[in-house]
Amino acid sequence: MNSQGNPSRLRFGCFELNLQTGELRKQGIKVKLGQHAFKILLLLVEQPGGLRTREELRQRLWGANTFVNFEQSLNKAIHQLRQALRDPASNPHYIETVVGRGYRFIYFEQESGKFIRMPRRRLHSIAVLPFTTDPANREMELLSKGIVERLIDTISRIPGIRILAYSTVQHDCEKNLDPRTAGQNLLVRLVVAGEMTRPNDHLLLHVELIDAYDGTQLWGIRFKETYADVFADPERLTDRICDQLLPILAGIVSGRGWQRQRPGNVA
């Protein structure tokens, strides 16, 4: 768990938990969280990977002499906590439900005695980052957005892949982050990143697939096209990217692994 020298502040992903003020913040913005939900989060992060039973939570939150509808109150607090963390029970990144027993905080793995900021269960999760372009060129920004959205739509059809929507990536990821950090903040294992430039009448596009766990490049390719042709038919270039990328992703999902490839050049 990362406290960065301050034990009163615990950081996980894009969240910061302030133990002194009782606040949860996401990228500096305060997240609304009820008293019971906050206490549950505190109990869970105290023991990463450890099970907190429902009976233990009842004793710690309400005590033996408090008469409430415990089941309803606990379920409500857990639901509120999941909403605050945007952490669905069906595909959790932070809080795992152990059916019939309780809950555990699953965000951290331990390596060489140090906690690293990587959620466990996300091998087949992926985000396509907005391609880097000249911010002053609005036309290229729109072209890039169209290519990325079509990539997301196509990748989403692969069974077993959880891919973030374009709007989610824009909302939850700061601009100009390196792909590895972006992947960690977005809670995905794989990141597709690209850089698009326009020298004269040509368009150069470099696309790569990165493992956010260790920052390694799993695949990459370069395209050099006539800008007017791409602008007139961006779907054609997107389909060529997918022809190269989708078999690699399908291999990862199926457990066959992938062949590491050097960035190629496509005329």
Higher pLDDT, 172 or 193: 193
Over residues 81-116, the pLDDT tens digits come to 999 988 888 777 788 888 888 898 886 543 333 444
Q: Which two tokens stand for residue 141?
A: 């920004």
Q: What is the pTM of this model?
A: 0.57
If phi over 0 gives left and psi between -120 and 50 gives alpha, with beta otherwise, what is residue 234? Answer: alpha
pLDDT tens string 246-259: 998 888 877 655 44
Confidence of residue 267 (pLDDT cuts 50, 70, 90): very low
Mean pLDDT of 40-45: 90
In this predicted structure, the answer to whether residue 75 has a pLDDT above a threshold of 50 is yes
**Residue pair 202/224 in contact by the 8 Å Cβ criterion:** yes
- Name the strand (E) or helix (H) holding 140: helix 138-155
Segment 21-39 mean pLDDT: 88
pLDDT in the model for residue 140: 92
d(CA 260, CA 257): 9
CA 122-128-132 angle, 5° bins: 140
Q: Provide the terminal-to-terminal Cα distance of the chain, rounded to the nearest Å.
A: 47
Yes or no: say if 248 and 220 are a contact pair by the CB < 8 Å rule.
Answer: no
- The SS3 call for residue 54 is helix
Predicted confidence (pLDDT) per residue in 219-230, tens digit: 999 999 999 999
